Amino acid sequence: MDKIYYITLLLDFYGELLTCKQKSVMSRYYFDDCSLNEIAEEHSITRQAVQDMIKRTEKLLKQYEDKLLLVDKYLKRREYVEGLLTELDSLIEKGNSELVNIKDLVKNIPD
Amino acid sequence: MDKIYYITLLLDFYGELLTCKQKSVMSRYYFDDCSLNEIAEEHSITRQAVQDMIKRTEKLLKQYEDKLLLVDKYLKRREYVEGLLTELDSLIEKGNSELVNIKDLVKNIPD
């Protein structure tokens, strides 16, 4: 899996467990595409300190994932539901129109 | 919701974030139905220390839930899927037998 996508998922699931500063640095770096220098300036710290914080925070996020497996479970569930939607599509194509509504309900299963 | 059931869910979702000792005390108290005195003896600490640890750990679990909402999301998803299964049952009863297989797939959506 693409590293940036994976970190984004980790941030989605575990971001609330980070400190305000960790959240801000990670979000500027991964979501807003800011450079290390820009983030360093914003927080009045060195470029090296930003780089260290990003590395440490990534490690922390991965430790949470090792313990709780939220990203892993989410991806497995999503793959399973996609298989189910494909199955529903093939039955709808064969003329089982009652399944159109069911498909919508499956699509909207909350995460 | 019943308090014991709620704590059990919190332990299911966040147990891996506790220390070994916290996990052990909570599991003896909530799953194995041990008394405070029995747990105190097992861990060579006072009854009061056990009680304090249970209270602190419950608070910690609730803090995780306030941040990550895993139990809340799980219960909402389960309720939604139960509604979907009821919908499927009513279509199956009306004679849409292709849905029996779909119902099984929906039942087995991973958590």
Instruction: Give residue A88's pLDDT band: very low, low, confident or very high (50, 70, 90).
Output: very high
Closest residue to A80, CB basis, from B88, B98, B109: B109
pLDDT in tens, A49-64: 999 999 999 999 999 9
**Among B77, B84, B98, beta carbon nearest to A96:** B98
pLDDT at residue A82 above 90?
yes
The model's pTM is 0.88
B90 Rama sector, left if φ>0, alpha if ψ -120 to 50, beta otherwise: alpha
ipTM over 0.90: no
Contacts made by residues B82-91, CB under 8 angstroms, sequence distance 24+: B83/A105, B84/A102, B84/A105, B84/A106, B84/A109, B87/A101, B87/A102, B87/A105, B88/A102, B91/A98, B91/A102
pLDDT score of B12: 95
Q: Which residues of A touch B108 (CB under 8 A)?
A: 80
The answer to whether B73 contacts A105, with C-beta atoms less than 8 Å apart, is: no
List, for residues B61-86, the tens digit of each pLDDT value: 999 999 999 999 999 999 999 999 99
